[in-house]
Chains A and B, each alone.
Chain A
Amino acid sequence: QKEVEQDPGPLSVPEGAIVSLNCTYSNSAFQYFMWYRQYSRKGPELLMYTYSSGNKEDGRFTAQVDKSSKYISLFIRDSQPSDSATYLCASPTQGAQKLVFGQGTRLTINP
């Protein structure tokens, strides 16, 4: 079983829709969670960084962590064509510095 699982999609939604991206993780020791956005042939860009359970909001983006179910979500409101990218969830292993990534979900926002 992979430590972080993510549906690779692809996911295609119309402009303006609310997008929900999800990951599950198996390692109970994970405490910090990140969401990265990666445009085609570019490096990952850190979008959101959360600790423990709860919500964190930044503009049109909301990250949600539910540690009881080991579920991580990223919501995008008022989605724009410029949001079209691959979204990767990640968590650092406890006691180590390496990030464990999900496979990434490819998202397309259609004008």
Chain B
Amino acid sequence: NAGVMQNPRHLVRRRGQEARLRCSPMKGHSHVYWYRQLPEEGLKFMVYLQKENIIDESGMPKERFSAEFPKEGPSILRIQQVVRGDSAAYFCASSPRLAGGGNEQFFGPGTRLTVL
């Protein structure tokens, strides 16, 4: 059973360009989460999605950032008009359908975005 897959692993963009980060959850998982990790900092929640729905985007910057998880295909985190401050590692996590209780999230290897 393959784990969470993310691509690309490394992405270099110039200021003003768009960045698209992709995440395929583990098989059987219908919940996807995006986190950002700045250098020397912990992970910060960005957005939580289920198929075709954004459930919680309280951690997303109000501008330039968007996320989707279509019925078919991977989840995508899109950053428009990137700035140097967007340089970070972006991690995707997934969890199985929950019957209640805790929330074990399994992380992908991350996409390291560098903005020149």
A34 touches B33 (CB 8 A): no
A97 touches B42 (CB 8 A): no
**Interface hits, A70-111 → B, CB 8 Å:** 88, 90, 92, 96-104
Work out how many contacts link A and B, with CB atoms closer than 8 A.
Answer: 67
B91 is an interface residue with CB less than 8 A from chain A: yes
User: How long is the Cα–Cα vector from A104 to B35 in the complex, in angstroms?
Assistant: 15
B43 touches A46 (CB 8 A): no
Which among A32, A42, A103 is the interface contact of B109 at CB below 8 angstroms? A42
User: How long is the Cα–Cα vector from A43 to B6 in the complex, in angstroms?
Assistant: 10
The 8 closest A-B pairs by CB, nearest first: A98-B45, A32-B102, A43-B107, A101-B42, A92-B103, A103-B42, A43-B109, A101-B43
**Which residues of A are in contact with B by a Cβ distance under 8 Å?**
6, 8, 31-32, 34, 36, 41-46, 49, 51, 88, 90, 92, 96-104
**Which residues of B are in contact with A by a Cβ distance under 8 Å?**
4, 6, 31, 33, 35, 40-45, 48, 55-56, 58-59, 91, 93, 95, 101-110, 112
16 example contacts (A-B, Cβ-Cβ < 8 A) are as follows: A6-B42, A36-B107, A41-B112, A42-B110, A43-B6, A46-B104, A46-B106, A51-B101, A88-B43, A96-B48, A96-B56, A97-B56, A98-B33, A99-B33, A99-B43, A101-B44
